[in-house]
Amino acid sequence: MFILSNLLTQSKTLYKLRVNDVLLPIRNWIDSIEIKNPEQAKGLCKLIPAQCPFERDIKLFGRTLFHIPPLCKLNPFYEQLVFLRFRALCFLADECGEDVTVYC
- In this predicted model, what pLDDT tens digit does every residue of 95-104 receive, in sequence order? 999 999 998 8
- Report residue 43 CA to chain centroid gap: 17
In 3D, which of 28, 49, 45, 57 has the Cα closest to residue 92?
Answer: 45
Please report the pLDDT score of residue 16 as a whole number. 58
Alpha helices in the chain (DSSP H): 2-32, 38-47, 78-90
pLDDT in tens, 54-94: 778 888 998 999 888 887 878 889 999 999 999 999 999 99
CA distance 45 to 71: 20
Cα 26 to Cα 103: distance, rounded to the nearest angstrom: 25
Mean pLDDT throughout 8-15?
A: 53
